[in-house]
Amino acid sequence: MFEIFGSLELMMAEVVLYHHSQGLTDGVKAFADELRRAGHTVHTPDLYEGNTYATIEEGMEYARSTGFGTIAERGVEAAQSLPEKVVYAGFSLGVVPAQQLTQTRPGAAGGLFYYSCLPVEEFGTWPDGVPAQVHGKDEDPFFAEEGGDLDAARALVAAADTVELFLYPGKEHLFADSSLPSYDEPAAKLLTQRTLDFLAKLA
């Protein structure tokens, strides 16, 4: 019996999931719960100290006034008490600490970057053998146009054969957050399944 439970435990991943610019919304919590139902341990640090916002613009204003550096530091600090072998995941703004930790914290198990990707040079180089996924919509103005995230994702995929890029049709940014009007159920379900497949391979 002990051996059976031990094998099951090995199949579980530990994930730190960072919320997007509107805060730790019910949709982010629901996504975390979906991963937990699959047996994974998921931590959801609140980088906004309990604040949530109705729009991306309002949330970004909070981040600007607080300081983007401060928000990122909160994310990095939230992971310091966790073991090394962790998957770092982030939605949009939350990709900043997630990608930083994936690239710089020793022993990272993997990265999951939703709706955003930074140039790998921001944090040095990509660690050898560390897998990751990048997800975004092909016409999302935040991901595919304004910030160059899609270009950064494609460059990362070209540089690291352990990284995959998944594009979905449409313009919605926070499309996997079930509590927001931008929610796209078919795309969100596919994103979730790809995430679960990714975590299962880490066993």
In this predicted structure, what is the pLDDT of residue 101?
98
Give per-residue burial for 123-138: e unless 16+ CB within 10 Å, then b.
beebbeebbbbbbbbe
Q: At what angle do helices 68-78 and 56-66 cross, to 10 degrees?
A: 90
164 exposed, middle or buried (CB, 10 Å; 0-12, 13-18, 19+)? Answer: middle
User: Which fold would CATH assign to domain 2-201?
Assistant: Rossmann fold (3.40.50)
In this predicted structure, what is the pLDDT of residue 126?
98
In this predicted structure, what is the pLDDT of residue 11?
59
Q: What is the pTM of this model?
A: 0.93
Distance CA 11, CA 121 (A): 32
> Contact 94/61 with Cβ under 8 angstroms?
no
Percent of the chain exceeding pLDDT 70 equals: 94
pLDDT tens per residue, range 101-113:
999 999 999 999 9
Mean pLDDT of 87-112: 97
Domain borders along the chain are: 2-201
pLDDT tens per residue, range 26-79:
999 999 999 999 999 999 999 999 999 999 999 999 999 999 999 999 999 999
